[in-house]
Structure 1
Amino acid sequence: MIRKLRNWASENLNGIGQIWSFLSFFLIIFTLSSCKEKPASSEKAGIAISFDDHFINDWYALRPLFQKYNARVTFFLTCPDTLTSDEIVKIKQLQKDGHEIGFHGTIHGNATEMLKSQGAQKYIETELKPGLENLAKIGIKPTSYAHPGGNHTDQADSILLVNGFKILRDVAQAERKLFGISIYHFAPRIMNWIYYPFNKGQIVDALMIDEGTNISEKEIKEAIKKGKDTNTAIMLFGHQPLYEKPKNGEYGFSVAFLETILKEAKAQNLRFYTMSELPVSK
């Protein structure tokens, strides 16, 4: 129900005249969020972190940080046809470390536009088949998929699930803007859709933690605690690891912020999940 309401809001947010509908939507979500009961157990409580695009060297440099906290994550790789021999070695090592290699499209295309203009078969032949074949050649068969730009339709989801993906990840943001003006900042702890309830669901949302999303350390710690308290897995994602403020078109997350997340998850004794483990976790 929450996903349907959220999709309705997205489809109807076309201008200033829709702001009241937008705010009403979040009032409904807040009401639904307030009705959740706390489970008796937290044995499955965890965190699923993923990273998108093709920042292989930067991801590889995070290995000591992941090892420090015994963390396992998912890397959603795009443009696998451009992998260099060095990148192949590194991505295979990350997989050997226990991380998952997911798929993020061959050309990072907009599924909604591709299906509308080219049809299902062309979408498969352009966005899915070539990249999956490239990965198969190096022994990687992805079972999780992150929608490029969060663009997808029910048709795209159906195609991906039929082609063997166990879980499909969409994008959630704590802050949205309209005409460059911040419309809301929605605390992650009440965004129920970013918590996986272990209901075998295959279409999920992860909260973006990149710079500019304006999520505070206090908010992320509260959100992680909610995962513990509700026996769910909080889903987060980012792009390029950054060691200072982004510049020259960079987009990514603060490595220091990532360590805050890993440290808090460890302190809360949360399990680290890869994305494909979520729908099959027992």
Structure 2
Amino acid sequence: MNRKHFVFVVVAVLAATCSSPDASGEEPRSSVFDVDRGGVVMTFDDRNFDDWVNAIELFDRFGVNATFFISGKIDEQAVEAIGQLRSHGHAIGSHSVHHLKAVEYCQDHSPAVFLRNEIHPQLEAFQAAGVTPTSFAYPMSRNDAVTDETLLTVFRHLRTGKNVADGQRLCDVDAFFVPASRIHQQGCLIAKGIDYAPTRPDRTFEQIDAALIRAAENNEIIVFYAHRICATKPDGGHFVTPEALTQIFSKAKELNLPFYTFDQLP
């Protein structure tokens, strides 16, 4: 090999290495997805770090990547949990500094003050920890057009929540379902809570399974949210059991529904 050819090969190898997400040239699991397919976005809120880290094995078993929306300080405990979660392909989102109702806060102060006090300080702390969240989850699902417009200047996607009326089937509520091909047009996604599943009428396995079937048949994306992950009712906080998650993950796998993180949504 002459000198000119050798230099060309070295430059080509270096260029390929630098453009790849890792030295092996393989994209990390968290960036491989097909936006033309329906799927599930699993999300968890607040600061339940021990529960989330302990559930990593469950997520790995089913190939599930989730998004964890963290509230409060990005302190040493948060940074350690973030590192463990991200190393398994999970995404991190913002849930504000003080977990306040965004609508009421913006009305009492202003959207600019909300950004200054509740969003930017946390984003700076995230970035210091090597994380740039692309999404925000509203505490207590309190959002309106003003808060959406304000926060979409900072984040690519927002997440709020909605209840299902008594006697209503989750699979019949169009607001929970977004066609995968139009997900990039949906700034704020409406999620369905699954804490306490399957013990409440709006989150029985029959309800959840029917919603997953609709998503699979119509190439739609559905978002679920929960908080703690523990086998028995904790002293405080909303929770979902590993058994309930196993049921949901198994049904999604049976339907060939992929799991997306908010970072993966365009």
Do Structure 1 and Structure 2 share a fold, with TM-score over 0.5?
yes
> What is the CA distance between 1:186 and its match in structure 2?
2.1
Once residues 86 and 178 of structure 2 are traced to their aligned partners in structure 1, the CA distance between those partners, rounded to angstroms, is: 23
Distance in 2 of aligned mates of 1:231 and 1:69: 20
Distance across 2 between alignment mates of 1:271 and 1:80? 32
* Corresponding position: 1:240 with 2:232: no
Q: Which residue of 2 aligns with 1:190?
A: 172
Q: How far 1:69 moved relative to its partner?
A: 0.4
| Alignment counterpart, residue 157 of structure 2, candidates 158, 167, 173 | 167
Tell me, in whole angstroms, the C-alpha distance in 1 between the residues paired with 2:234 and 2:103: 30
**In the alignment, does 2:221 pair up with 1:230?**
no
Letter aligned with residue 220 of structure 1: I
- Give the superposed CA RMSD: 1.7
Distance 2:87 2:236 in 1: 32
Gaps of 5+ in 1: 1-41, 176-183
State whether structure 2 residue 47 is matched by structure 1 residue 60.
no
Trace 1:25-104 onto structure 2 (pairs within 5 A): 44-81=37-74, 83=75, 85-104=76-95
Q: Which amino acid aligns with 1:209?
A: I
The answer on whether the counterparts of 1:196 and 1:235 sit within 8 Å (CA) in structure 2 is no
Q: Which piece of structure 1 moves more, 72-81 or 209-218?
A: 209-218
Q: CA deviation at 1:271?
A: 1.0
**Which residue matches 2:242?**
255
1:144 to 126, 135, 140: 135
CA contact under 8 A between 1:80 and 1:135: conserved in structure 2? Answer: no
Alignment partner of 1:257: what SS?
helix
Deviation per CA, 1:187-212, whole angstroms, max 9, x where unpaired? 11112211221212111101000116
Aligned length: 226
1:154 aligns to 2:145 (yes or no): yes
Tell me, in whole angstroms, the C-alpha distance in 1 between the residues paired with 2:89 and 2:125: 21
What percentage of aligned pairs have identical amino acids?
Answer: 26
- 1:210 aligned partner, one-letter code: D
Q: 1:248 to 1:130 in 2, by over 3 A?
A: same
- Equivalent pair of 1:77/1:101 in contact (CA under 8 Å): yes
The runs of at least 4 aligned residues of structure 1 exceeding 6 Å deviation read none
Q: Which residue of 2 aligns with 1:207?
A: 192
CA distance in 1, matches of 2:226, 2:167: 18
- What SS does structure 2 have at the residue aligned with 1:108? coil
Q: CA deviation at 1:43?
A: 6.0
Counterpart mapping for 1:122-137 below 5 A: 122-137=113-128
- Matches of 2:148 and 2:177, distance apart in 1: 20
